[in-house]
Amino acid sequence: MRKYRLFGIINPIDVLLITGLLLLIWGARILAQPQAVEAQGGRLLRYTVEFGGHDAGFYQRIEPGAYVYDGTHGWHIGRVVDAYYRPFLADVPDLDAGIIRRVPIEAGEDGVPMEFTYIVIEAWADYDDYATTIGEMWIAINRMMYIRSTHFAGAGFVTHMEWVEEVPND
């Protein structure tokens, strides 16, 4: 059966199958990696994401310098600069005064102390008259974000944004 072999040694169909398999493996590896969509230029943006209702001490598990990724797309969206907490607050009706008061809650229903966790993240961002973006990710105050790192994952709201440094355009 040397009739259907390339140079009498190699079967062309086997070569095509092996090439296709290698391309498939290469494509799967590229798609499995987190997509780095950080902006190449622009300005350094520092933004804060608030996670509500975590157990006390959650903020201590978040290490500064850790990379943060978008939880839905896997895009790299910055690095952790700081993490801090504030007491967990809830809106409670004050029937005597006829108003709703925001009061600290010492513990959840299961008796575990609760707190708000704030994660401060820095990333290079682009901006124009319409939006502030980190790569393709749109960032805005009160926007819900699903973020993850090697130390934490969850959903939170952007509560603060500030420009840290501007890169001069050449």
Range of the domain at 149: 43-166
pTM of the model: 0.66
- Helix (H) or strand (E) holding 163, with range, is strand 153-166
For residues 112 and 136, state if they share a domain: yes
Specify if 37 maps to a domain.
no
- Of residues 34, 91, 94, the one with CA closest to residue 67: 34
pLDDT in tens, 86-138: 887 788 888 898 899 888 877 666 666 778 889 999 998 888 878 888 888 88
Specify if 38 maps to a domain.
no
For residues 57 and 27, state if they share a domain: no
For residues 26 and 105, state if they share a domain: no
pLDDT in tens, 126-167: 888 788 888 888 889 999 999 888 888 889 999 999 988 655
- Number of structural domains the chain divides into: 2
Answer whether residue 49 shows pLDDT above 90: yes
